[in-house]
Amino acid sequence: MILKAAASAPGKVILTGEHFVVYGEPALVMAINRYVEVNVEERKDNAIYISSSLGVSGTFVGDRFRPVRGGTLASNILKPIKIAAEAVMNSLGERRGLNIKVSSTIPVASGLGSSGASAVSTVAAVVKLFEANLTEESIVNLSTEAERYVHINPSGIDQSISTYGGVLSFKKGKDISHLRVRSTIPIVIGNTCIERNTGKLVDNVRVRMERFPNVLKPLISAAGRLTVQAVDVLRRGDLDMLGLLMDIDHAFLSAIGVSSDALDRLVHAARRGGALGAKLTGAGGGGCIVALSRLDDREAVAKQISEAGGTPIIAEKVDQGVHSWKVK
């Protein structure tokens, strides 16, 4: 065991297929250059102290939580980190106290994968601390235990993209396929800055599916076919077609009830700015949209998003997933 370790994992945008992925359909997801970094060190006692750049911190002793900053609500934010760290220790047959520091440049609760990247980088940092070697697949599985605290039926898409990086065609419980994309994939994200709860939105979709199964089941399969086609056009570097498919996907997501006024406003603004296509990304309800753009049009798209009241983020694809290192 070493004294200190750290890991960093990227956030993501889902280009097509969120929500439908929970029902076994494929989704297309891309890692972006926004990161969560986690630092860990051993403690002399058995407690797990966690501090986050979100301004919350506290100590878990067994299942009891003692807040330091952020009151008892801090427990909800920090608990998935504890679950991820303990999942690693359980799998290695270890039990130690830890100090964990989480710093993020990914806006929280916005659909850009901050909780997935936090769980993945926690798992990787704790694995490094114990000088263990785990496969990428095990990192995904252990970090998905933390996501189960966030909602009971996670597809694992966020953990997978934060672990592997690049662009993935992802299907729950199936082999992941890495896409080699020759073209750049210029995107502009628009943040409504309205925080939302992934678990609640996934549950609202379940209720709607149960109420209108005959209407919505075919929509789920259509969304799956949309992603298959999106993967195909992206492999060929046909961004115009990908943009059109993203527009259709936004309409599908509206049909299952996860868009909102603010998201629709930003989607329309991005299209006005010359985007090839735009849609909400992640669970919806608030959070972000992703617009596909030509390289030279990104500023114009960002300007329209900003004029419509959103916060634009020009982000880049990153090919590296999680990585960890020893801290001196």
Q: Which residues are catalytic?
A: 158
Q: Which is nearer to ligand PMV, 106 or 301 (CB)?
A: 106
Residue in the shown chain whose Cβ atom is closest to ligand PMV: 282
Q: List residues binding ligand PMV (CB under 6 A).
A: 18-19, 21-22, 111, 113, 154-155, 157-158, 198, 202, 282-283
Q: Which is nearer to ligand PMV, 58 or 190 (CB)?
A: 190
DSSP 316: -
The residue behind tokens 């427990």 is 75
- Min. distance of Cβ 31 from ligand PMV in angstroms? 13
Inter-residue contact 194 to 322 (CB < 8 Å) = no
- Min. distance of Cβ 117 from ligand PMV in angstroms? 10
Q: Looking at this protein, which amino acid is placed at residue 306? A: S
- Min. distance of Cβ 93 from ligand PMV in angstroms? 29
Q: Which is nearer to ligand PMV, 19 or 271 (CB)?
A: 19
Q: Which residues contact 49 (CB under 8 A, 6 or more apart)?
A: 43, 57, 58, 59, 60, 68, 97, 98, 99, 100
SS3 57: strand
- Min. distance of Cβ 34 from ligand PMV in angstroms? 13
- Residues 17, 10: Cα–Cα separation, whole Å: 19
- Residues 108, 112: Cα–Cα separation, whole Å: 8
Q: Which is nearer to ligand PMV, 185 or 201 (CB)?
A: 201
Partners of residue 43 on adjacent β-strands: 97
- Residues 28, 184: Cα–Cα separation, whole Å: 15
Inter-residue contact 195 to 111 (CB < 8 Å) = no
